[in-house]
Amino acid sequence: MLYSMKPWFFWNGTTAILYALILLFISVRLPFIKKTLKRKQFILCCLCLLMYSSVDLLDLVHPVFIIQYLFRNLLLVFFVILFSNDEKRNLVRIFTKVYSVILFVSIIAYIFYLLDISIPYTIMRYEYNTGYPSFKNYIFLIIRNETEFFSRFQSIFLEPGHVGMISSLLLYVNQYNLKRISVFILFISVLISFSLAAYVLLILGMILYYLLKSKHYFRRVFRVSFFLCSAVVISVIFYVNNPDSVYSKLVVARLDYDEERGISGNNRTNSQFDYYYDKAFLQKNDAFLGIGDEEFVRRFGSGNSSYKTFIVQNGIISLFFLFAFYCMLVYYCLSPVYVGLLILYAASFLQRPYALWEIELFLFMSAGSILKYKYNDKLFDYYST
């Protein structure tokens, strides 16, 4: 799960380590797999097979992609599907704690950096994508090695937006229980990421969660509406009075409207890609299966990221199977709060189509075992401890 977020120590030449860990996990877990599958497990495995087969279809001519397809995409996901509810709850608990510990140490290092306290560092690059600048590596924190107005918090991961996005989703799954230290750390990491998308996910997630979990619907609607209006008013007032502040420049200013591109923060794709998507791609048969990862990189390089890039790379058929897989998970859970998480994932997917990252996929697959028991006090207390 952590690997998919691209921490710096997994950047260059560590694929062999990843597959060694996958094989170790499979060999340890295999003896505990039941010989008979439940009906819902069988259906989910079939959907998973269809989903990854359509996603990887155009790239399976290379041996490396075949290995990834079999081990990382299929077998690993199959094993998580076969987890018991207790194992899924423990997976979320353990990852939340490990991730929050990493963030906590990174936040301490980030405070030292902001206070200009000297910390030794090395310079490193993300060789897989040369579109990124070099980074200052402080072991528990990385910072872009370029002149910026303000260095945003990104912990040990590739982008501040990645930290903000995953922390926002984890906050929802952990039911915004800020009394728990690990959850409070997640909340702080969202704030200091200064990611507009993360702020939107945070607010949207809180609205969905508190609306869907409450029996007092209209009271919750009033409270959430009041909270949302207050946040907007405070942001506008702060922006007007402090236009040069970090929050104003990195967050509020991205809401400015541009006649050509709409909201200025809507900059996830360039004009070349947008023209191809609107004028050429959707008019061809490529729209069904996509053009594949290699062809996408050859044509557009890096720097584009939205639901459109997923469709261009993988096709509409892959998008359909992805949506069907997630919807089937929700169907087998039948929890209104779980439906809210699906909506939150969809909102995140519009800007960052990372629904097949192990962290997002496994988190969603495991979240249902927590959220469907939201009215069961014993299980809620068990998870909250």
DSSP characters over 335-369: -HHHHHHHHHHHHHHHH---TTSHHHHHHHHHHHH
Q: What is the dihedral of CA 19, 167, 323, 263, to 10 degrees?
A: -120
pLDDT more than 70, % of the chain: 82
Q: What is the pLDDT of residue 247?
A: 64
What distance in Å separates the CA atoms of residue 208 and residue 348, rounded to the nearest whole number?
Answer: 14
What distance in Å separates the CA atoms of residue 236 and residue 225, rounded to the nearest whole number?
Answer: 17
The beta-carbon contacts of 142-148 under 8 Å, at least 24 apart in sequence, are 142/8, 143/113
Give the pLDDT band (50/70/90) at residue 342: very high
Q: What is the pLDDT of residue 295?
A: 83
Are 165 and 155 a contacting pair, CB within 8 Å?
no
Lowest mean pLDDT among 171-180, 299-308, 343-352: 299-308
Q: What is the pLDDT of residue 165?
A: 94
Average pLDDT, the chain: 82
> Is the pLDDT reported for residue 105 higher than 90?
yes
- For 40-72, what is each residue's pLDDT tens digit? 888 888 888 888 888 877 776 677 677 777 777
61 or 92, higher pLDDT? 92
pLDDT more than 90, % of the chain: 32
Residue 112: closest CA among 138, 145, 149, 135: 138
Residue 351: closest CA among 287, 283, 298, 304: 304
Q: What is the pLDDT of residue 253?
A: 63
Residue 137: closest CA among 125, 149, 127: 125
> Is the pLDDT reported for residue 97 higher than 90?
yes
H or E stretch covering 126: none
DSSP string, 265-284: T--SS-HHHHHHHHHTGGGS
Are 254 and 246 a contacting pair, CB within 8 Å?
no
